[in-house]
Amino acid sequence: MEPFGYLGIFIGTFLEGESLLLLGGFLAERGYLELWAVALTGFVGSYTGHLLLYLLGRWKGEALLTRFGRLRSLYPQARTFIQRHGSAAVLFSQYVYGVRTVASVAFGLVGMAPRRYLLLQFVSCASWALLVAGVGYLYGETLGLLLGDLRRYEGRVLALLAVVTLAYAAWRVMRVSRTARRAEDSKEPSV
């Protein structure tokens, strides 16, 4: 389970998933993974994802605004927020689900200095990964205390968590593709 667990955590945190990082913390408490490796993998996945999205915002931000109308409509608010809150916006955007990926593109688009962004994002991703993995670990400990012999339920719990996580990931992918298709359809000239 170890290599696949860490790979799943990396991919999940790269895309925006604290659910897989929480699950990794839980699995670390149960002895399947190492907590330090779960947190480190979560940090690396998250930081890498943010870096790539920031670069995308710096290099292709205007094209993204042109292509995706929803981004274009939200951009003025995001720009004002970033200009007003600066460093704090980078530090805390990691903790707001659904905002962190869009925020990384916006930080690049508004032209935040790369060195400043990378340092702040490093601190934010590291603290987030430690916190979320730690919460997953404590969750596993708490379940053990509440249910007693958790080993007899583990297989079912892990299977359920895997199914829920995969279903959620599939739902997100379908939602993103549906949104992209709608954006493309709205661009086509009417006859």
**Residue 3 binned pLDDT confidence (cut-offs 50, 70, 90):** low
Residue 29 has phi, psi (to 5 degrees) of -65, -35
Q: What DSSP string runs through 109-140?
A: HTT--HHHHHHHHHHHHHHHHHHHHHHHHHHH
Query: For the segment 131-178, what is each residue's pLDDT rounded down to a tens digit?
Result: 999 999 998 877 666 656 656 666 676 677 677 777 877 787 787 777
Q: How far, in Å, CA of 169 to CA of 166, rounded?
A: 5
SS3 37: helix
Q: Report the pLDDT value the prediction gives residue 38, as an integer from 0 to 100.
A: 95
Which two tokens mark 102?
Answer: 């869009």
Q: Report the pLDDT value the prediction gives residue 71, as an integer from 0 to 100.
A: 73
Q: How far, in Å, CA of 50 to CA of 52, rounded?
A: 5
Query: For the segment 57-105, what is each residue's pLDDT rounded down to a tens digit?
Result: 899 888 887 887 777 777 788 788 888 888 898 998 888 877 777 788 8
Q: Does 33 have pLDDT greater than 70?
A: yes
Query: For the segment 121-138, what is each residue's pLDDT rounded down to a tens digit?
Result: 999 999 999 999 999 999
Q: Report the pLDDT value the prediction gives residue 147, as an integer from 0 to 100.
A: 59
Q: Does residue 71 come out as left (phi exceeding 0), alpha (psi in the -120 to 50 range) or beta?
A: alpha
Output the CA–CA distances (angstroms, integers) from residue 96 to 38, 92, 107, 112, 160, in the order listed.
21, 7, 15, 20, 25
Higher-scoring residue by pLDDT: 49, 148:
49
Q: What percentage of the chain reaches a pLDDT higher than 90?
A: 28
SS3 33: coil
